[in-house]
Structure 1
Amino acid sequence: MSNLSEVGDRDGWRCWLCDEPVDPDASVNSDLGPSVDAVVPARASKGKGKGAAVTERLAHRACNTRKGAVRPVVPWSPDLFVVDPAPIAETVERLRRKPGREVVARCPSRDDADQAAAWLVDRLSRFAPDLDVTTQVEPGGGQYLLAVRV
């Protein structure tokens, strides 16, 4: 198991769940204090991958506590104009199991879709750093579809 400083330095002192900065000097008992979240791969948690590596990620204590032992909810930025956004954590899990292309949102304009695509690539680079993702914006039906490809 890694120590908190090693995990924090590797993750750039950003919470992997909410993507906000984590203060390395805050008390570990504070809601915004740092904690290490041990992420167990889905297969290992079902007993199918007993030798699977556990990933340690930096999180705020409150985010880690709120998540508990359930799948994390990773919110889309409220600054984006996206319609029917797909749940980010579940999308990442599906693309890890079976790489390919998945439509994750609809946007009313090309500019909105381009902004959402840039944000999503940046967010996934921290949420799932092991996943090499690209995005595609495609027109269709008077709107723009945002897809992720692995």
Structure 2
Amino acid sequence: MGQLHDVGQADGWRCWLCDEPVDPNMPPNDPRGASIDTRITKARAKKRKQDKKNLPSERLAHKGCNTGKGANDPVVSWPDHLIVADPAPIITAVERLERKGGREIMARCPTREDAEAASVWLVDRLSRLAPGLEVHTEIATTGGQFLVNLCT
């Protein structure tokens, strides 16, 4: 339980996939119980090989979220309450920003209010998803739509 406790403490006892709280006292086979997800995508494995750094590869996940993901690359979903068109894959964008920095277009929104809500959610979510990555958002107006850009 030592390793699980350490990973849980580091992630604030929140599932890195669904961002919901994880109860450390749940039985280990319960879908809402705690488990460790080894979060190594191809990009992170390549970076680890090149840099020889000890990058964090273990994250806390619900047993059900971790099992549902399986051996596939993780997907962090945009919430249903946000009105966004063409949402970018969050994990892919974050990995690119970690590698190269710069700016990523994350979504198109029909109104400024929708873009602001998406921006607030995105920065908050990334503060737990990739805590070492300093990001902010910019909202650009283009052709009657509002683009949410994620910047390092």
Structure 2-normalised TM-score?
Answer: 0.89
1:31/1:60 contact within 8 Å kept: yes
Q: Secondary structure at the match of 2:149?
A: strand
CA spacing shift, 1:134–1:48, aligned 2, 3 Å: closer
Counterpart-to-counterpart distance in 2, 1:7 and 1:44: 18
Aligned runs of 1:21-32 on 2, under 5 Å? Answer: 21-32=21-32
Instruction: Report how many residues are paired.
Output: 149
The answer for the alignment partner of 2:76 in structure 1 is 74
The correspondence for 1:122, drawn from 121, 124, 128, is: 124
Instruction: Give yes or no for the alignment of 1:36 onto 2:32.
Output: no
The correspondence for 2:94, drawn from 92, 95, 101, is: 92
Residue deviations 1:51-83, cap 9 Å, x none?
442422110011112222221010001110111
Instruction: Give yes or no for the alignment of 1:107 onto 2:112.
Output: no
The answer for the alignment partner of 1:61 in structure 2 is 63
Which of 2-11 and 28-37 deviates more?
Answer: 2-11
Give the RMSD, CA atoms, in angstroms: 1.9
Give the drift of 1:45.
3.4
Structure 2 alignment gaps of length 5 or more: none
Q: Secondary structure at the match of 1:123?
A: helix
Structure 1 alignment gaps of length 5 or more: none
Residue deviations 1:72-111, cap 9 Å, x none?
0100011101111001011111112211011110001111
2:43/2:95 contact within 8 Å kept: no
The answer for the alignment partner of 2:134 in structure 1 is 132
Percent of paired sites with the same residue? 52
Give the drift of 1:144.
0.5
1:43/1:49 contact within 8 Å kept: no
CA spacing shift, 1:44–1:122, aligned 2, 3 Å: closer
The answer for the alignment partner of 1:3 in structure 2 is 3
Which of 120-129 and 2-11 deviates more?
Answer: 2-11
1:103/1:146 contact within 8 Å kept: yes
Counterpart-to-counterpart distance in 2, 1:46 and 1:16: 21
CA spacing shift, 1:3–1:122, aligned 2, 3 Å: same
More helix by share: 2
Give the drift of 1:13.
1.1
